[in-house]
Amino acid sequence: MMTTIIDGKAIAADLREKVAQAVSALKSTHDIQPALAVVLVGEDPASQVYVRNKGIATEKAGMKSIEHRLAADASEDDVVNLVRKLNAEEGVDGILVQLPLPSHISSSRVINEIDPDKDVDGLTEVNAGRLILGKDGLVPCTPQGSVIMAKTVRPDLTSLNAVVVGRSILVGKPLSMLLLAENCTVTMAHSRTADLAAVCREADILCAAVGIPRLIKGDWVKKGAIVIDVGINRVEEGGKSRLVGDVDFDSAKENASAITPVPGGVGPMTIACLLRNTVVAAARRRGVGEIDL
Ligand SMILES: Nc1nc(=O)c2c([nH]1)NC[C@@H]1CN(c3ccc(C(=O)N[C@@H](CCC(=O)O)C(=O)O)cc3)C=[N+]21
Ligand SMILES: [Mg+2]
């Protein structure tokens, strides 16, 4: 079977270009430059790399990038006070608090301090509620990127059986809601699902977001299914460190009609969707209407 490898890098580049055009239009028509504030607590090397990449991508799209770094021993109140300050700043359109936070800080308390209309990660309780209720809000980036990628190979997902493996707040739950909104019949599977392989075999769209390297085997994939691999796992192999997904790519590719790779799949889409959310938030907050990307 000819299998499409869904090129997340290329789709993300395309979306980023559209965001840049929307930013440029906001500037010329309304003299608005959207701004994204990123809060990083502590010195985790991986988080530092992510934050740096987000800053670069934000500026490349023509938006303003603001970084706030707090020491690893900052208190929960320090972080909350910073978020409140950013909420109050007129020029700030998006606020992202890099996760994970140090263990002495409640990420749920901090996240829910973010003004929902600036919550470009879509992680506040208000935006989770809007998503479930089908109201306009800001949608979590990784699930949004996953659906965009599926729709590049199948623009109308209506009536397809979607199986989402993993029920995290960041990915599994919101992704299930988005697929439901696309008129899929959604099964929410997880680590306690009985006969996970059999459930996966029913999927026309199989989304893996469990964080277990290569859990999903090729013979769990129905012939012709679309496979969206959300996992980004670092594994040591042959003395080398590499990234693999939650899907066993080589065997799954044999059955899938389309599949996302890791790296180069959902990861790049996450950042592109963050930029998209930022320009969408800026236009709404500043009263110039909806941006359609
Ligand atoms: N508030 C918050 N929002 C986030 O969205 C958030 C976060 N915290 N904390 C960390 C995770 C992780 N994350 C990734 C984004 C892009 C890639 C990405 O582009 N990955 C490349 C590979 C990069 C590499 O080579 O290491 C790829 O998959 O092709 C990965 C991971 C966003 N996160
Ligand atoms: Mg689970």
Residue range 264-283: mean pLDDT, rounded: 98
pTM (global) more than 0.90: yes
The two tokens of residue 240 are 């080398």
Cα angle 97, 99, 102; round to 5: 105
Could you report the per-residue pLDDT of 99-132, keeping only the tens digit for each?
A: 999 999 999 999 999 999 999 999 999 999 999 9
- Closest C-alpha residue for ligand 1 atom 15: 267
Q: Is the CB of 211 under 6 A from ligand 1?
A: no
- What interface predicted TM-score (ipTM) does this complex get? 0.96
Confidence of residue 1 (pLDDT cuts 50, 70, 90): low
C-alpha span between 246 and 204 (Å, rounded):
17
Classify 69 as helix, strand or coil: strand
Residue-level pLDDT at 179: 98
- Tokens at residue 68, please? 């706030």
Cβ–ligand 1 contact at 206 (below 6 Å) = no
> CB of 218 closer than 6 A to ligand 1?
no
Active site residues: 54, 98, 121
Please state the atom number of ligand 1 nearest to the C-alpha of residue 49: 26
207 to each of 41, 215, 262, 264, how far by Cα in Å? 31, 12, 13, 16
- Cβ proximity of 3 and 259 under 8 Å: yes
133 HSE (CA, 13 A, CB side)? 10
Q: Is the distance from CB of 157 to CB of 184 less than 8 angstroms?
A: yes
Atom of ligand 1 nearest to the CA of 8: 29
The owner of tokens 């089908």 is: 134
Q: Is residue 55 a contact partner of residue 67, using CB atoms and an 8 Å limit?
A: yes
Q: Exposed (0-12), middle (13-18) or buried (19+): which is 150, by Cβ within 10 Å?
A: buried
Of the listed ligands, the closest to the CA of 9 is 1
Question: Domains of the chain (ranges plus CATH)?
Answer: 31-115 (3.40.50.10860), 141-268 (3.40.50.720)
Give the pLDDT score at 133. 97
| pLDDT value of position 208 | 98
134-185 pLDDT, tens digit per residue, is 999 999 999 999 999 999 999 999 999 999 999 999 999 999 999 999 999 9
Helix H segments across the chain?
8-30, 45-60, 76-88, 107-113, 125-133, 141-153, 172-181, 196-200, 249-255, 266-285
